[in-house]
A = this chain, B = another copy of it.
Amino acid sequence: PTVDKGVDFANYFCTYAFLYHQKEMLSDRVRMDAYFNAIFENKHHFQGKTVLDVGTGSGILAIWSAQAGAKKVYAVEATKMSEHARTLIKANNLDHVVEVIEGSIEDVSLPEKVDVIISEWMGYFLLRESMFDSVICARDRWLKPTGVMYPSHARMWMAPIRSSLGDQKRNDYEGSMDEWYRFVQDTKTSYGVNMSVLTKPFSEEQKKYYLQTSLWSNLHPHQVIGTAAIVKEIDCSTATVNDVLEVRSNLLSSITGERTRLCGFGGWFDVHFRGSKVDPAQKEIELTTAPSMDDSTHWGQQVFLLHPPIHVSEGDDLNVSFSMNRSKENHRLMEIELSCDIRQSSGNILPPFSNRFYIE
């Protein structure tokens, strides 16, 4: 899909130009620990090597790469955050190693190929923001054939959940419709215009907003009521843009909770730092954004709600067919089609349902 660069800058990049937002990421301990350990427990990947940091933001990954012994680090950043990165790198006495380049990775030119590409490109439910496209582009143009990707692997996960968010959102939706009917009445009475023909499009707009848009949530592990399933596995060394343009998958999940309500699905991701086949990690590191009591991340989980919830019991089997595409209006946002069969442990099969969701 062709992307208007100006629009993309207005919509997407602008938030990253704020230190406030970079700080939010830099304060995510799970994220920080994972990258920190991935680098410093695998110094052999960095010592005397050349590194490319795709989307360096504040410069943190470039700095660590240099501190771990890299000979040269190219730190590319599309926004004006590059200036802060440059300041930070200088203040930490690493400007003889790290070179900050302001520009889209798609547009910049490096003087050499690199041994390592490091990047923190993951959005909500892994692929929101579509930044992995840029990492693929960087890899195909600038990584040596023997080079290593940081992270090297990524997975999307999904699991059935219970949640009270659904009732809340349903209430919000109904409140907004009540208000709409009052508004239609008033507009007719006071201003002589009958708006009722817009009731259907208004309700569709509100449904999309309240009921079909996925929610950020920091789920408690207890809210996961069935086995988690892998939706997609990505090998960062070989995946193409085509491999991630559309995600299609059939998932199986068994309800593990007692008699409970299936309120929807939670989606999250993990990434791994394993090095490459010929040059594996000395210590493999995992960064997971799964529901957790202590180790929650700023990504949280994406929650897709069912209206109304469905009663389920231990042993019920869910057969989910999932497909995710980029939204036509904004390639960094996603649209999901999810349909589900439930085979109860009794053998009884519930009528299948099908839902459309939006990751905004």
From B6, B84, B209, A4 is in contact (CB under 8 Å) with B6
A197-209 near B? 1/0 per residue, CB < 8 Å: 1100110011001
Residues of B near A9 (CB, < 8 A) are 7
B87 touches A198 (CB 8 A): yes
148-189 of chain A: CB within 8 A of chain B:
176, 180, 183, 186-187
Using a CB–CB distance below 8 Å, which chain A residues touch chain B?
4, 6-7, 9-11, 18-20, 23, 26-27, 29, 32, 36, 58, 60, 63-64, 67, 84, 87-88, 90-92, 176, 180, 183, 186-187, 190-198, 201-202, 205-206, 209
From B6, B23, B90, A183 is in contact (CB under 8 Å) with B23
- How far does the alpha carbon of A309 sit from the alpha carbon of B64 in the complex, in Å? 45
B20 touches A88 (CB 8 A): no
- How far does the alpha carbon of A32 sit from the alpha carbon of B84 in the complex, in Å? 48
Measured CB to CB, the closest approach of chain B to A337, in angstroms, equals 23
- How far does the alpha carbon of A67 sit from the alpha carbon of B198 in the complex, in Å? 19
Residues of B near A32 (CB, < 8 A) are 190-191
Q: A-B pairs with the 7 shortest C-beta distances?
A: A91-B197, A4-B6, A6-B7, A7-B10, A19-B202, A10-B10, A10-B11
From B4, B36, B87, B192, A197 is in contact (CB under 8 Å) with B87
Residues of B near A84 (CB, < 8 A) are 198, 201
Q: What are 19 A-B interface contacts by the 8 Å CB criterion? A: A4-B6, A6-B7, A10-B10, A10-B11, A18-B205, A19-B205, A20-B206, A20-B209, A23-B183, A26-B183, A26-B187, A27-B183, A58-B195, A67-B192, A84-B201, A87-B201, A88-B195, A91-B194, A91-B196
A198 touches B88 (CB 8 A): yes
Residues of B near A205 (CB, < 8 A) are 18-20
